């Protein structure tokens, strides 16, 4: 069902500073920057690798306000890994299959994620403390 | 420098239970099980995807004793993402380059990791709260 590690989502206080760090230290390159008002974050996707099922990224997340999920995470835990996103071919089918196993879905239906993807989150308490995201990448038009 | 997301390392209380969960819920398959006395863990690598630079895994980690790095992590933070491992072609060269940027190295020299890899950890305080591992996969003999 999972086709790749799509990204590791990392919460930070200062997006620009962390982008510069990942660029300078690890040679990563920014593939996309977005502001997602719905999720209350500004973010960047830094490209790590390409694979047969799609690419892998480091996603850096800075909260738009303290009273957002990432803002609350930072206040409680400090900077660090916020979630893990796995690629799937069909996020709707994956949600149905995973929900049928008894895992609570934070998103019953897919919503818009980074870079045009359709995404959904699973409840971390049902996935061993890991906030887990399913990512169906945007189909590129040829 | 980074060639892939090699693995996400997830700390758990009960390795067998979490293996069964990841197999059943996400269809992952165990590629390797090991006990690493040096790191004080028993662990499993669950295969997610193959790519040009190597494979990606979910690594599940159960501490052998409470007084180990993963045991202390669990006591403090509970189950969840413990570290992120990135693939590199040459871990010695990568350590040198990253150390030269001022990032503290938890391992000055590579040591033995899962599945015959040479690995080294970077100090999480210098990588935005993320315990970061560099992984040079074992070269397969042909």
Provide φ and ψ at A13, rounded to 5°.
Answer: -85, -30
Q: Which 3 state secondary structure label does DSSP give A99?
A: helix
Residues 6 or more apart in contact with residue A32 via CB below 8 angstroms: A44, A45, A114, A115
Residues in chain A with pLDDT values less than 50: none
Contact between A86 and A133 (Cβ < 8 Å): yes
Taking 90 as the threshold, does the pLDDT of residue B140 lie above it? no
Tens-digit pLDDT profile for residues B47-98 = 999 999 999 999 999 999 999 999 999 999 999 999 999 999 999 999 999 9
What per-residue confidence (pLDDT) applies to A141?
Answer: 54
Question: Residue B139: pLDDT band by 50, 70, 90 thresholds?
Answer: confident
Domain A2-136 has CATH 3.30.479.30: no
Helix residue spans in chain B (DSSP H): 15-26, 69-77, 91-100
Q: Look at residue A66 in the predicted model and tell me its pLDDT.
A: 97
Picking from A3, A5, A53, the nearest residue to B8 by CB comes out as: A5
In angstroms, how far is the first alpha carbon of chain B from the final one?
A: 25
Q: How far is CA B27 from the centre of its chain?
A: 20
The answer to whether A2 touches B27, Cβ cutoff 8 Å, is yes
Question: How far apart (Å, rounded) are the C-alpha atoms in residues A12 and A78?
Answer: 8
For chain A, say whether B31 makes contact (Cβ under 8 Å). no
Cβ distance of A2 and B98 shorter than 8 Å = no
Residues of chain B above pLDDT 90, percent: 94
A55 at interface of B, judged by CB pairs closer than 8 A: no
Report phi then psi at B59, rounded to 5: -105, 120
Q: Where are the domains of chain A?
A: 2-136
Are A51 and B51 in contact, with CB atoms under 8 Å apart?
yes
Backbone phi and psi for residue A131, each to the nearest 5 degrees, phi listed first: -65, 115
User: How high is the pLDDT of residue A140?
Assistant: 64
CB-based contact (8 Å) between A44 and chain B? no
Helices (H), A12-119: 15-26, 69-77, 91-100
pLDDT of residue A14: 98
**Which of A3, A5, A77 is the closest to B5 by Cβ?**
A5
Distance from CA of B70 to the nearest CA of A (A): 14
Reply yes or no on whether the pLDDT at B142 is more than 70. no
Q: Which DSSP category does B124 fall into?
A: G
Whether residues B26 and A86 touch (CB distance < 8 A) is answered with yes
Q: Decide if A78 touches B, using CB distance below 8 A.
A: yes
What pLDDT does residue A27 have? 97
Strands (E), chain B: 2-11, 29-36, 41-51, 54-63, 80-88, 111-112, 118-122, 132-136
pLDDT at position A139: 77
Q: Which two tokens stand for residue B58?
A: 């979910």
Our CA-based measurement puts residue B19 at a distance from the nearest CA of chain A, in whole angstroms, of 11
């Amino acid at each position: 069902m999972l086709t790749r590690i799509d990204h590791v989502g990392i919460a930070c206080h200062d997006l620009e500073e962390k982008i510069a760090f990942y660029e300078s230290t690890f040679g990563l390159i920014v593939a996309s920057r977005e502001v997602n008002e719905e999720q209350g974050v500004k973010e960047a996707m830094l490209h790590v690798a390409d694979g047969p099922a799609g690419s892998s990224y480091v996603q850096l997340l800075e909260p738009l306000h303290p009273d957002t999920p990432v803002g609350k995470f930072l206040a409680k835990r400090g900077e660090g890994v916020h979630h893990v996103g796995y690629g799937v071919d069909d996020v709707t089918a994956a949600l149905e299959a995973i929900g049928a196993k008894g895992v609570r879905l934070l998103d019953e239906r897919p919503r818009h994620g980074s870079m045009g993807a359709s995404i959904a989150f699973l409840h971390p308490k049902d996935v061993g403390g890991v906030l887990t995201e399913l990512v169906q990448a945007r189909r590129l038009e040829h």
